[in-house]
Amino acid sequence: MSATRFAFYGRVSTEDNQDPESSRAWQLTRSRALIEPRGGVIVAEFFDVDKSRSIPWQRRPQASALLTELRNPDRDFQAVVIGEPHRAFYGNQYGLTFPLFEHFGVPLWVPEVGGPIDSSNEAHDLVMSVFGGMSKGERNRIKIRVRTAMSAQAQVEGRFLGGRPPYGYRLVDAGPHPNPAKAADGRRMHRLELDPFASAVVARIFADFLAGYGLFAIAERLTREGILCPSAHDPARNRHSSGVAWSKGAVRAILTNPRYTGYQVWNRQRKDEVLIDIDDVGLGHTTKLRWNPQDKWIWSDAPAHPPIVSREDFEAVQEALASRGHRYTDKTVRRSRHYYQLRSLLRCGICGRRMQGEWNNEMPYYRCRFPQEYALANHVTHPRNVYVRERDITPKLEQWLARLFTPWNIERTLDQMVGAHGGPAPAAQESELLKRQLAESDRKLGQHRAALEAGADPVIVAGWMREEQSHRSELERRLRRLPAARSARMDRDALAASLRKLGDLVDVLRDARPSRKAKIYAELGLELTYYPSQRKVLVAVTSNQDSIGSECVSEVGLEPIDYLLGSCDSPWLDIS
């Protein structure tokens, strides 16, 4: 009798320092101990690494691949074995997943029932449901223990609990880690120490605000005087920011950070798990950071590091900021929620920043507001405000997409898309060159900071750093605008089938609500750049296309294909 061929599924999370190889090995051992005495052999493996158990199967890469393979009538395996249900199922995931195994006639084996799960056996269903609940309870207990421990460490010990040090401080060694196991691995404790230059800037910001200066006024004064903003002062820890000029947000973040009082403050933010789609709870949750009210903050019992401002001054600043907030009265107009179809997709062609949605005259607009000091720091000539109406862009964009998906254009589109993969993309070579230039710029900025700490003239060094940072920002802008490098050659037949499915997309866009269109544009990976002097919009595709077809566009048959929009006659939309 021939052996039964099995696929193995397992999962490991590395957030608690588990070794993926060791975890995979013992889960495989447990699976083989179940199936080999009955003539089973594992012929395929699906093992998710660094994926939380709370993530549904459809969003775990390997679990999703296994579910996809169930649909393949020519699959290599006849059954699936899971060595540890605790790691595979969480909450109600078993109830949402097992019906797929039943539908495709693939038995699911687990050690806890001694073989394949029998859906008609109530005991089997009860056991698997209990394991899902236990898995959820275990994760919740770990979260409670960790948060309670961190709260005590912050309040009683005033311990620095990780993350980037606030602007005005720097990290210094504070001895070996108190956990013996971590200390044996060479882990060290850290504490905050004053940064002589930046701490003086922080003190000045608080003093200026208490003297009556506004956030914009403080930001523009600092930029005008050539004082480096936080991301330029420490670019190694702030690669996500351009570091060209001070912003209103940076000033506000400093004024609202209570750690400048010398106390350690923890739990200013929390992680909330919110449903991805309230109409499809099976998609699970996503984690969002949200601010806690001040009565939830955990303050250390005693000062934990050198203060920059007094606690009295900090409280006075918070009262002043609160008094400038929005105060609703009977005459306050409550605005209804508006949907912007191009939200987060439209950039200003002058400065490269994302344009903000604004409702005006009962219709959506997009605006790029650029303070004069930012323009000077960026070496660009930028109007104070750039406006464009949404209705000037979206009809032209729909026509552009319609031309791409017409049946008589598909063959030419395919030729261009497949031909683009025949050799190394020129953009990839330019990308590598720009990355090397960015690394060299970072090295120079590091030298300038070292010179500043060694006692060089701050005014001269600030000029050097401002010039180098401007050069670095230009390199980053050029890198962002490059088309993504493509390595794998695309299969023409698969592309043809997928593009033909997209024919319905034009009809969907024509009849869809604004909120629906916004989701479709985002799923397509569109990125638009508006050039006000020409009254034209450049259409491009973002390099990250992992999410295409995952939620919204999949409803009209869209497949996750790269470079889908690269075959149109012209990427320019004339909106004049």
What confidence tier does 420 reach under pLDDT thresholds 50, 70, 90?
Answer: very low
Pairwise pLDDT comparison (20 vs 372), residue with the higher score = 20
Distance CA 259, CA 167 (A): 10
Name the average pLDDT for the chain: 79
User: How far is C-alpha 303 from the geometric centre of its chain's CA atoms?
Assistant: 34
What does the pLDDT average to over 362-375? Answer: 78
Pairwise pLDDT comparison (164 vs 374), residue with the higher score = 164
Tokens standing for residue 474 = 């230009």
What pLDDT does 495 receive?
Answer: 56
Question: Which distant-in-sequence residues (6+ apart) come within 8 Å of 149 by Cβ?
Answer: none
Q: What is the DSSP string of 214-226?
A: -HHHHHHHHHHTT
What pLDDT does 530 receive?
Answer: 92
List, for residues 327-359, the tens digit of each pLDDT value. 544 444 455 567 788 888 898 888 778 898 888
- Report percent pLDDT > 90 for the chain: 25
CB 22 within 8 A of CB 76: no
Q: Is the dihedral of CA 399, 405, 411, 414 positive or negative?
A: positive
CB 30 within 8 A of CB 81: no
Q: Which amino acid is at 16?
A: D
Pairwise pLDDT comparison (487 vs 238), residue with the higher score = 238
Distances (CA, A) of 351 to 340, 386, 394, 465, 529: 21, 11, 22, 20, 10
Distance CA 172, CA 189 (A): 9
List, for residues 132-169, the tens digit of each pLDDT value. 888 888 888 888 888 898 889 888 988 888 888 999 99
Question: Which distant-in-sequence residues (6+ apart) come within 8 Å of 538 by Cβ?
Answer: 349, 528, 529, 531, 571, 572, 573
φ/ψ bin of 106: left (φ > 0), alpha (ψ from -120 to 50), beta (otherwise): beta
pLDDT-wise least confident of 106-115, 153-162, 424-433: 424-433
Pairwise pLDDT comparison (153 vs 465), residue with the higher score = 153
Residue written as token pair 């499809």: 280
Helix (H) or strand (E) holding 396: helix 394-405
Pairwise pLDDT comparison (42 vs 484), residue with the higher score = 42
* DSSP 8-state assignment for residue 354: B
List, for residues 201-212, the tens digit of each pLDDT value. 999 999 999 999
User: How far is C-alpha 45 from the geometric centre of its chain's CA atoms?
Assistant: 29
User: How far is C-alpha 81 from the geometric centre of its chain's CA atoms?
Assistant: 33
Pairwise pLDDT comparison (30 vs 413), residue with the higher score = 30
- Report percent pLDDT > 70 for the chain: 76
Buried b (16+ CB within 10 A) or exposed e, 271-310: eeeeeeeeeeeebbeeeeeeeeeeeeebbbeeebbebbbe
CB 47 within 8 A of CB 9: yes
Distance CA 41, CA 546 (A): 34
Report the candidate in 85, 105, 84 with the shortest Cα–Cα distance to residue 95: 85
- Say yes or no to pLDDT of 183 above 60: yes
Report the candidate in 171, 163, 298, 174 with the shortest Cα–Cα distance to residue 238: 163
